């Protein structure tokens, strides 16, 4: 069973505008995000099942990870 990456807002453009992409579980958020072609540095925060996780968190099966972009700051 895969894990799911949901880029929020403008980040969707990196995966062809789709709301969600399935990725293999067992890899880190950083690896999964990079694999999808999303620049890791502009992902401000990742909420995995609504809890913030660092980018070296290892994705479990069924995890849903929302990627929030740093848009424009303060």
Interaction site with other proteins (CB under 8 A): 8-10, 39, 41-45, 47, 51-52, 54-55, 66, 68-74
Of 52 and 60, the one with the shorter C-beta distance to other proteins is 52
Q: State the nearest-atom distance from the C-beta of 49 to other proteins, in Å.
A: 12
Q: State the nearest-atom distance from the C-beta of 15 to other proteins, in Å.
A: 14
Pairwise CA distance, residues 51 & 20, whole Å: 18
Cα→Cα distances 34→9, 47, 60, Å: 17, 17, 17
């Amino acid at each position: 069973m895969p894990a799911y990456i949901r880029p929020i807002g403008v980040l969707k453009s990196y995966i062809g505008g789709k709301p969600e992409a399935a990725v293999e579980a067992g890899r880190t958020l950083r690896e999964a995000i990079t694999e999808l072609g999303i620049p890791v540095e502009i992902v401000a925060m990742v909420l995995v099942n609504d809890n913030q996780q660092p980018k070296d968190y290892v994705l479990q099966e069924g995890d849903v990870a929302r990627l929030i972009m740093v848009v424009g700051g303060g």
